[in-house]
Amino acid sequence: MDRKAFVKLAAASPALANPIYAGCSEGDSSSEESGTVTGTPSLDSQTGFTFYSSLAEEWYRGGQYFEWTSTTRNNQGRSVNVFYRTFGNPSNPALVILHGYPTSSYDFREMIPFLEEDYFVTVLDFPGFGFSDKPQDGYSYMLEDDAKLVDYFVREVVGLSRFHLLTHDRGGSVGFAFLGNYLTSEEKDYEITYHFISNGGLFLPLANLYQMQISLLSMRPPELTQERPAQPRRTEGTPQQLANADIQAFNDGAGARLYVGKYLLERAANEYRWLDNLRESPVPTALIWGLQDTVNPPRIGNHIWYNYLDKRSVESSYWFLPTAGHYPQRDEPEEMAGIVRSCLEVGVPVPEDENAFMRTLAQGRTATSPVIHGSLYHRERLLPRGRYVLTRRVQFLRCPKERSTRKTRALHQTRGTLRQRSKLSVSGLGRQSHTSRP
C-alpha cells in the first residue's frame, strides 16, 4: 500500500483510528535474564488474575489507579481505569515517561533505578496496555485522547508544574500530539523542560511495517475478532518473557492489541503537522536510538534529525546506542539513563565545542557506550587551499605555486607521465581486434 492510499484509508476511517505498531515482541532473549524457569501461580484476590511472574506481580503491587473519562466522541464519555507508578522524591525534577506499543510502563523497570535518586519519575499504562483497562466493545483508542490523558495526569494526578518528557515507540506519537496541544495552548498550566524521543515510528514511509499490520488497518471490529488466533498463557520461559506474558494477559491484552494497533491511521493523518511542530518547538530535544532496531530503523531518526532538529536554534542532540535494539531502555538501561543525565546535568555542547565533547565522551568507552551524532555544522576548512584534479583513477592535489617544492614538482611529473600512459592505453584499446581471448 503506497502512502497516498494509506492516508486515504486513515481519512476514511476516523472511527477506526484506534491504533498498530510494528514489532510486537516478548523480548530479546539475548538482552534479558538467561535461563528458563517455570512460573509459580499466584492468584490476585481482587482481580481474580493469576500471575506466573513474580516480577510482573511486584510491578503491579507497587502501582495505583486513576479514572480517566475519554474525550473521544465515539467513546461517549466512557471512563477507564489507568495504572501508574511513581518513583523518587516529588520535590526533585520530574520525568514523565510514555511507553510504546504493544508493551507497557514495565519496559522501564530496569532504567528507573539509575534515575530515581535524583528525579521524580512517573510512568503510566495507556488504556489498552499493561495493567490498565482494555475494553474491546467498540472503544476507540486514539492518540489524541491519550495526549489529553497525559495532560490530565500531570495536572490532576501527580500535580506537576515543570517536567521532562521521555517517549518510546508509540509513546512518541502520543508525545507529539501532546506537544502540539502544549504549543497551541495560550495559558499553560505547566512547562515541558526537555523532550527525549526514543526509537519511534515517527515517519511511516521509513518504518519497517509487516504486511499483517497493514492488513489489520482496514479490518472492522467483527473481522478483527475472527482473525484473532488462540493464545495460550505462557507459564515457563525466561523471567522477562514470563513478566511480559503476564502483563499481556492481564485484562485480555492479546485481544485489545488488535484494536489498539490501528493507531498508525491517526499517525499517518497527522505526521507532517506533528513533525513541523517539533521543528518549531522551544523545548530542548534529544533523539536516542538503538542502532540494532529492525522495527523503527535508525533511518527514521536520521530523517528527523536532518530535516527537523539539526538546524534548530534550540538545544538538540542525537544519540546512538550501538548494542541496543528497539528497546534501548531494556537492552542498555544504564547507558540510556546516562544520556538523560548527560543532557539534563552536563548539557549538550554548541557546534563549535562538539569535537572536544566527542573526544571526552570517547575516553574509556566500551562497546555499549553511547555515541553522539553531532550537528551538521560546517567548520572552517583546515587543509591548505588547493585544487583537486582527477585523472582516470588517480587523484592529485595541485598546490599553489608559492608552495611548490621538489616533491610537488615530482608529483606534477608523475601526473604527466600517467596522462601520457593513459593516452597510449586508450589508443591501444582502439586498435584491438574483436577476436576472443584464448
Q: What is the distance between the alpha carbons of residues 397 and 408, in angstroms, rounded to a whole number?
A: 9
CA 413 to chain centre: 55
Q: Which H/E stretch holds residue 275?
A: helix 263-280
- What confidence score (pLDDT) does residue 229 get? 59
- What confidence score (pLDDT) does residue 70 get? 95
- What confidence score (pLDDT) does residue 227 get? 54
- Percent of the chain residues topping a pLDDT of 70: 74
- Percent of the chain residues topping a pLDDT of 90: 54
Q: What is the distance between the alpha carbons of residues 132 and 138, in angstroms, rounded to a whole number?
A: 17
Q: What is the distance between the alpha carbons of residues 184 and 78, in angstroms, rounded to a whole number?
A: 26
Res. 127: pLDDT tops 90: yes
Q: What is the mean pLDDT of residues 298-308?
A: 96
Q: What is the distance between the alpha carbons of residues 95 and 162, in angstroms, rounded to a whole number?
A: 9
* Cβ-contact 380, 371 below 8 angstroms: no
25 or 338, which is more confident?
338
Confidence class for position 27, pLDDT limits 50, 70, 90: very low
- What confidence score (pLDDT) does residue 379 get? 58
**DSSP-based three-state secondary structure for 54:** helix
Please state the domain extents for the chain: 3-372, 387-428
**DSSP-based three-state secondary structure for 10:** helix
* 282-291 pLDDT, tens digit each: 999 999 999 9
- What confidence score (pLDDT) does residue 138 get? 83
Confidence class for position 36, pLDDT limits 50, 70, 90: confident
Q: What is the mean pLDDT of residues 130-156?
A: 95
How high does pLDDT run on average in the chain? Answer: 81
Q: What is the mean pLDDT of residues 421-438?
A: 40
Most confident of 265-269, 312-316, 340-344, 430-434: 340-344
Q: What is the mean pLDDT of residues 113-121?
A: 98
Q: What is the distance between the alpha carbons of residues 246 and 255, in angstroms, rounded to a whole number?
A: 14
Confidence class for position 105, pLDDT limits 50, 70, 90: very high
Output the pTM of the full model: 0.79
Res. 314: pLDDT tops 90: yes
Res. 210: pLDDT tops 80: no
Topology at the third CATH level for domain 3-372:
Rossmann fold (3.40.50)
- What confidence score (pLDDT) does residue 87 get? 99
Res. 430: pLDDT tops 50: no
* 371-402 pLDDT, tens digit each: 888 777 655 655 566 554 444 444 444 444 44
- What confidence score (pLDDT) does residue 269 get? 92
Confidence class for position 34, pLDDT limits 50, 70, 90: low
CA 64 to chain centre: 27
